[in-house]
Amino acid sequence: MIVNLIATSQTPKHIVLSVNCQTTVWELIDTLAKKVNRSPLKIKLQRDAKKPEITVYHFCKSLLDLKFEDNEEINIVKQVEANGKVPLINP
């Protein structure tokens, strides 16, 4: 069990969770999204610079697989979507 996983966001400032180490990244994102009143698709988790970045490919992996530790801090940031412009072929 991972004790006291600390998430930081704009509102509320700190969220302290005790989660099972077999919890998937998606379940963690879903839980945190409910706490900050956002869609799980609109947030992104950032770990310490020494740890690997969490991408969509990690959503099905457990926290144990990604080597989360007790009292680890993660940041919740707004997911930025790239709005690429599509050129018209025949205007």
Confidence band for 86, pLDDT divided at 50, 70 and 90:
low
Domains of the chain by start residue, with CATH: 2-78 (3.10.20.90)
pLDDT for res 82: 61
Can you read off the two tokens belonging to residue 50?
Answer: 């020494």
What are the beta bridge partners of residue 78?
A: 43
Q: Taking a C-beta distance cutoff of 8 angstroms, is the pair 45, 28 a contact?
A: yes
Average pLDDT over residues 48-73: 86
Torsion of CA 46, 15, 43, 35, to 10 degrees: 170
Could you write out the DSSP letters of every residue in 20-32? -TT-BHHHHHHHH
pLDDT for res 6: 62
Query: CA of 25: how far to CAs of 28, 55, 85, 90, in Å?
Result: 5, 10, 31, 44
pLDDT for res 79: 73
Predicted TM-score of the model (pTM): 0.75
